[in-house]
Structure 1
Amino acid sequence: MCSGRVIRIIRAPRTRTLACDDHIPKLQLRTRHFEKMVVVGPSYAMRSVKVLGLLTAPDLGFVTGLLKCLPCVEKLYILLDTWMLFKKDVKCSAPLECLDWHLKKVKIMNYDEKRVDVNFIKFFVLNARVVEYMKFVVHREKCGAKWIAGQHEKLQVNDRASKGAVFDFEADFSRLPNSMVHMEHIHDLAMDPFDRSLCM
């Protein structure tokens, strides 16, 4: 249990990589506070963060709140926790600098094609203007062409904001969600600890 855990990052001018999950009841990034996944403080951007890893329910309010605080994220890794409670879909109408100018790579792990998953991911498909690559790791024995075509339709890939974006689906045969961080390289701060290709 982490019911009493509080994480505060008051000043970290060179932080390039950040990971967090919405099990943490209170998170403070400079003067922006997140309590139980709700933003309760003013926004001051941490522009140095380029890589963000999240363990979260499909909660747009929580994720877009973080992206407002971390506007220069280029790589976003999300491990969806399908057992967590989630709120009603949130509509984010305000523009996000991250989605308009910086976000190039998105990887969604534990994608289960539930309605909340689809609506959550559609937000990025329809709003991430410069994304180049989106990868979905799914718990399925078969990840065939027909099923993938169906997902493209559900996620409205033809209406994507970034016309050059590539969408890739990968079957994951393990029963448990993948660990996001590769401990073998966690000591090397120059590497992206979420990128599996670096472990080959």
Structure 2
Amino acid sequence: MYDVGISDNHLQSMITGCVVLESVSMHIMGFGRLCITSLTLRSITFYGPSKGEGAVTFQELVIEDAPFLERLVTLYPYCSPATIRIIQAPKLEILGSLSQGISTLDTETAFSVQKMVAVSLTSKMHTVKILVLDSIGPNLDSVVDFLKCFPCLQKLYIFPHRGNYVNNVQEYDPLDPMECLEVHLRTVVLRNYNGYTRPVIDFARFFILNAKVLEEVEIGVFSHRKDRCLRRQGRELQVENRASRDAQIGLKMDEETILKHHDRTHDFSMADPFDKPGGRLIHMF
């Protein structure tokens, strides 16, 4: 549904009444709040209208009861609802993109996110395996808070964007281990990498030095680096000290991008709708 004039109550009734509906896309819909109950839905994509004059701002998305929901994806993170509340979605495995555009993410009052910072945590989502984050900075503190909320995460995508860089000096405390980093996280995809800025280097290095079962780190860079620069990147990232000796760390040509095509999310022959052929491999550590 694209730019459809329908009230939130009628849309909720329609989704609930479609007893074989598996996938739904909602683009630039003019409602403030949507509560979804469906016994058949497996995938949802959405984005709200831009916050221009006269636009009805998408304030809240509630997944009240969706026992078969596997994928919940916002295509344009900064046109996302301010609040996403997940009450009952026991099979949810793919979630993204979460960003500063989402001021609150609530799972059975499990945690709230303010500017991508988890501020309270009473329970965790163990079902989510793939998570996509849009981050200004990037901000390591906020990303680590998400890792605590999704302890069984296997694949993490991070799309950092240019902004006010933060001081990413967080140290991993072995006395307070994170289940995600210890036993589950196998792939990290970091886009838009600027290897000349200390906070960005520290951000990438955190995963290389602390993810114990990591198999692959894909780092997207914008330009071809000379051999001297590549050797420096290896030293900066401390690839020789990687926590997982089997981890393959690759620098690839990249372009700043986010998922925009909803059909990938609804194609269940694709185990990961965010996965796509990476750019040309520049160097492998």
TM norm. shorter chain > 0.5: yes
Structure of greater Rg: 2
Structure 1 pair 181/194, CA: closer, same or farther in 2 (3 Å)? farther
The CA distance in 1 between the partners of 2:261 and 2:229, in whole Å, is 30
With the length of structure 2 as denominator, give the TM-score of the two structures.
0.62
Question: After superposition, what is the alpha-carbon deviation per residue over 1:75-110, rounded to whole angstroms, capped at 9, x for unaligned?
Answer: 111111122x34433524331100100011111000
Secondary structure of 1:154's match? helix
Aligned to 1:38: 117
Residue aligned with 1:40, SS: strand
1:124 is aligned to 207
Residue pair 2:157, 2:188 contacting (<8 A) in 1 also? yes
Aligned to 2:239: 157
Letter in 1 for 2:99: D
Structure with higher RCO (Cα < 8 A, 6+ apart): 1
In structure 2, do the counterparts of structure 1 residues 159 and 36 end up closer, same or farther at CA, with 3 Å as the change threshold? same
Q: Which amino acid aligns with 1:17?
A: I
Unpaired segments ≥5 residues, structure 2:
1-50, 52-78, 279-285
Aligned mate of 2:99, from 11, 16, 21: 21
List aligned pairs for 1:81-100, cutoff 5 A. Answer: 81-83=161-163, 85-91=164-170, 92-93=172-173, 94-100=176-182
Q: CA deviation at 1:35?
A: 1.6
How far is the alpha carbon of 1:182 from its aligned partner? Answer: 4.8
Identical residues among aligned pairs (%): 35
Shift of 1:44: 1.0
CA contact (8 A) 1:33 1:39 kept: yes
What is the one-letter code of the residue matched to 2:83?
A: V
The offset of 1:144, in angstroms, is 4.2
Q: In the TM superposition, what whole-angstrom CA distance separates every residue of 1:97-130 from its partner, at most 9, and x where no partner exists? A: 0010001111100001111111111111110000
- C-alpha separation in 2, matches of 1:119 and 1:49: 26
- Pick one of 175, 188, 192 that aligns with 2:267: 188
Q: Secondary structure at the match of 2:191?
A: strand
**TM-score w.r.t. structure 1 length?**
0.87
CA 1:69–1:3: 2 relative to 1, 3 Å: closer
Gaps of 5+ in 1: none
How many Å apart are 1:29 and its aligned residue? Answer: 2.8
- Provide the aligned length of Structure 1 versus Structure 2: 193
- Per the alignment, residue 147 of structure 1 pairs with 229
